[in-house]
Amino acid sequence: MSQLTLIQLSNSTYYIPSPANVGLFLKNNKAILIDSGSDKEAGRQILKLLKEHNMELSLIVNTHSHADHCGGNEFLQKRTNCRIAATAMESFLIESPILESSILNGGFPHKRLRNKFLLAKASIVTDVIPNCGQILDTSLNALSIPGHFLDGIGVETSDSVLFTADSIISKEILSKYHIHFLYDVRSHFETLEMLKNRTDKLYVPSHGKPASQVEFRDLVDFNKYKIEENIDAVLDSISSEITAEEILALVCNHYSIEINANQYVLIFSTVRSILSYLLDEKQVDVSYSAGQMLWRRL
């Protein structure tokens, strides 16, 4: 991991650029982190940064429970005894990370799925918070952003900076990888529509650079376009009765994606979420034959 740096965005709002950006809100030298990085090493570097800037860590607010967002929790909590806040459903996975791999795999995860990319070290959620409104006694507000995962939140600071977590992905990443993890497609579309109408001064996605309001609205449109493209790719793969795994193979071939164990469960989860969306929209139907679930277009 390259050396992490601390960048000031506004009066009391900072961020730490990394593969999954970490937000920081400062009050009276007490630091509140928005997510904690991907692993122990990220946590170690974050703590070093805080000490260099004479900041004391008091709280981590986790936007959601994916390992690249809460991977530094355990190290930081052990070293500082800081509090950790998350929504109820996300807190279950933060405290029992095996659940993330289990959800993705649809059963007990084999050893190749029990890695730090999918399995953070367990940490203790000291404060279960609602998915909207003021966060505890801080100057931060939670914003419900369902779709990417179970009950994720964005975090808005009193400086009008909104950390959007994984509700928005950068154009560079989407153009390179084409398809990203989605749990609930319909809710995600609703989240994108809500975000486009926001009037914050600055937006910080977890995977991308800070954006102005104009830049962010353009980014929201691009995210929506890519999801619609993914849906079309799934639909186009269904020319006759076909299994979900065959659809996955055709979608990967369409985008020239070579998959490993982690990518298999992540992309397959998204494909199945798209199929669930299309089934609810009555664009596809299913039948069961010879031990297989078969999808067909309507």
Shared domain for 165 and 269, answered yes or no, is no
What single DSSP character describes residue 37? -
Same domain for 131 and 272, yes or no, is: no
- Quote the DSSP letter at residue 122: P
Is the same domain home to 16 and 155? yes
Does residue 269 contact residue 281 with C-beta atoms inside 8 Å?
A: no
Task: Show the CA angle centred on residue 224, arms to residues 220 and 225, nearest 5°.
Answer: 115
Q: What CATH number corresponds to the domain at position 253?
A: 1.10.10.10
Other CB atoms within 10 Å distance of the CB of residue 87? 24
The structural domain count of the chain equals: 2
* Residue 1 maps to a domain: no
Q: Is residue 169 part of a domain?
A: yes
Answer whether residue 262 is part of any domain: yes
Q: Give the domain extent around 246.
A: 232-297
Residue 125: give its domain's CATH number: 3.60.15.10
Q: Do residues 128 and 84 lie in contact, with contact meaning Cβ atoms separated by under 8 Å?
A: no
Judgement on whether residues 147 and 259 belong to the same structural domain of the protein = no
pLDDT by 10s per residue, the chain, length 298: 678 999 999 999 999 999 999 999 999 999 999 999 999 999 999 999 999 999 999 999 999 999 999 999 999 999 999 999 999 999 999 999 999 999 999 999 999 999 999 999 999 999 999 999 999 999 999 999 999 999 999 999 999 999 999 999 999 999 999 999 999 999 999 999 999 999 999 999 999 999 999 999 999 999 999 999 999 999 999 999 999 999 999 999 999 999 999 999 999 999 999 999 999 999 999 999 999 999 999 9
- Are both 189 and 257 inside the same structural domain? no
Residue 90 forms part of a structural domain: yes
230: closest CA among 193, 282, 260, 266?
266
Nearest alpha-carbon partner for 190 in 131, 157, 148: 148
229, 247, 274 — which closes off a domain? 229
Q: Is residue 158 part of a domain?
A: yes
Look up residue 205 and give its two tokens.
């996605």
Same domain, 267 and 172: no
Same domain, 146 and 281: no
> Distance of CA 291 to CAs 110, 136, 288, 294, 295, Å?
23, 50, 7, 10, 13
Q: Is position 17 within any domain?
A: yes
User: Does the predicted TM-score (pTM) go above 0.75?
Assistant: yes
Residues 192, 45 within the same domain: yes
Q: How far is CA 116 from CA 3, 34, 70, 91, 254, in A?
A: 20, 20, 11, 18, 29
Residues 184 and 273 in one domain: no
**Same domain as 157, residue 292:** no
Task: Single out the residue in 229, 251, 268 at which a domain terminates.
Answer: 229
Same domain, 212 and 258: no
CB atoms within 10 A of CB 86: 30
Half-sphere CA count of 128, side-chain side, radius 13 A: 9
Same domain for 46 and 124? Answer: yes
